Amino acid sequence: MRIFSGDVLQFNMEPIFPSELSTPWSDAQPHLHIIGNLPFNVSTPLIIRWLEDMSMHRGAWKHGRVPLTLTFQKEVAERMVAPTMNEQRCRLSVMCQYLCDVKHHFTFGGRSFVPPPDVDVGVVRFVPRVEPHIQAPFRLVEKLVRHVFQFRQKMCKNGLQYVSRSIKQCSVLVILLYNNNIIIITIFVIISLIVIT
């Protein structure tokens, strides 16, 4: 066993996996699996970083569609798998589901840990998709979704005013998001069509 010490948010997993286990992205998953009990304070930034690595096929995902099984605070796990039109649907739901097949497998009580956290813990499995649901650069998708969901009660129109000045590019992405059943209010599709035409 080898132990690596350092900041998980900066750690590159690519060199620790044997290259002979790599498989092409479109093939079956490689015989590799990332399993982790994540500290709750870094779990969201870490999964966003790993999702970006997946989208770029770098880091651990240079070796193929490496799945993850990770622990999260129960409420975070539930948001990750929230379906369209669910009140828990959020930025994290969209970002996880557009790149991965995401399943919340089970929940167990915080008392299972020492010291026990005050919250329950959800175990979530991520399997990278061969093709993402949204065909756009990760950073553009992340920026748009972050702004759309940043206001209370999912007031999308308030968030979109802060998105990139490249209205045409954002407008096309709004349509892609809408076509992939991600909650976007109809007025944005209408505005998008007006801007493009």
pLDDT at residue 193 above 70? no
pLDDT at residue 174 above 70? no
Q: Work out the number of other CB atoms within 10 angstroms of the CB of residue 57.
A: 13
Q: Which of 31-35, 80-84, 101-105, 146-150 has the lowest mean pLDDT?
A: 146-150
pLDDT class for 8, splitting at 50, 70, 90? Answer: confident
* Predicted pLDDT at 99: 97
* Predicted pLDDT at 82: 93
Radius of gyration of the chain (CA): 18
Phi-psi region of 24 (alpha: psi -120 to 50; beta: other; left: phi over 0): beta
Domain regions of the chain by residue span: 14-128, 138-196
73-130 per-position pLDDT tens digit: 999 999 999 998 888 888 999 999 999 999 999 999 878 878 887 889 999 999 999 9
Over residues 4-26, mean pLDDT: 90
Model-level pTM?
0.78
Q: Which of 24-33, 45-54, 63-72, 146-155 has the lowest mean pLDDT?
A: 146-155
* Predicted pLDDT at 184: 36
Question: What is the CATH architecture assignment of 14-128?
Answer: 3-Layer(aba) Sandwich (3.40)
pLDDT at residue 71 above 90? yes
* Cβ neighbours for 163, distance < 8 A, ≥ 6 positions apart: 143, 144, 147, 170
Q: What is the DSSP string of 26-54?
A: TSSPPS--EEEE--HHHHHHHHHHHHHHH
> What is the β-pairing status of strands 34-37 and 68-73?
parallel
Over residues 60-80, mean pLDDT: 96
Instruction: For residue 7, give the nearest of 33, 57, 40, 42 by alpha carbon.
Output: 42
Over residues 182-186, mean pLDDT: 36
Query: In angstroms, how far apart are the furthest CA atoms of the chain?
Result: 59
Helices (H), 57-183: 74-80, 91-99, 138-148, 156-160, 167-179
How far apart, in whole angstroms, are the C-alpha atoms of residue 107 and residue 24? 33
Sheet holding 100-108, edge to edge: 34-37, 68-73, 121-128, 100-108
How far apart, in whole angstroms, are the C-alpha atoms of residue 26 and residue 129? 9
